[in-house]
Amino acid sequence: MIRIIGGRFKGRKLRMVPSPAVRPLPAKLRGSLFNILQSRVVDSFFLDGFAGTGSVGIEALSRGASRVVFIEELPQAARIIEANLAKCQAEDLGLVLNQEFNRAIIELGKKGVKFDLIFLDPPYKLLEERNPLKVIRKRGVLKPTGLLVIRHHRHYQPSPRDFKLVRRVDFGDDIFSFYSGEEVAAPSGNDISSTDD
């Protein structure tokens, strides 16, 4: 069972996706993420990539995001995100795109869509195969003043060539890497401005 942990939808129960392909962000990590983001969420245009149950995007809406786009390739999961939005009476605030992530980003880029906050929780194997950060940079869907957060395993190192890494937060094998919307011209060995253990 998944519950919203803060904001106006606090305590609402969300449906889970009965598939081993979907791994919801644990409540502890979700709480830590939003404690870090804090006021940046308010009035933000938020992207929940590889959204699964939609718990991160709905948490963002609960905490004041103005609108959330959910990208989820699995049709069953996309339907459950829509059901979870309905449970929170937030259907008008969320858009669910049932598409492969890179294709969805390409289409959003063509429409000139730009986000304040992007959260990605992709399958770890996919990170090695596709590099979603590169697609986001090439399509220009993150505002220069925006922030991108990616959850990944500690053994994977996201490329430093696309955005400037500004923070890294460790939770055992789970890592949150935070990138500013400022693109970088070349990799640097000193990108991290702060690290939390």
Q: What is the pLDDT of residues 20-61, one digit of tens each?
A: 778 888 899 999 999 999 999 999 999 999 999 999 999 999
Calculate the CA 186 to chain-centre distance.
24
Residue environment code for 144-158, b if the CB has 16+ CB neighbours within 10 A, otherwise e: eebbbbbbbeeeeeb
CB proximity list for 106: less than 8 A, separation 6 or greater: 135, 139
Q: 62 with 4: CB under 8 angstroms? A: yes
Domain count across the chain: 1
**Stronger pLDDT, 69 or 190, i.e. the higher one:** 69
Q: Is it the case that residue 125 has pLDDT exceeding 90?
A: no
Q: What pTM was computed for the model?
A: 0.90
CATH number of the domain bearing residue 140? 3.40.50.150
Instruction: Write down the pLDDT at residue 193.
Output: 38
Structural domain including 115 reads 2-196
What residue type is 131 in one-letter code? N
Instruction: Write down the pLDDT at residue 123.
Output: 83
What's the mean per-residue pLDDT of the chain? 89
> Which strand (E) or helix (H) includes residue 197?
none
Instruction: Write down the pLDDT at residue 195.
Output: 38
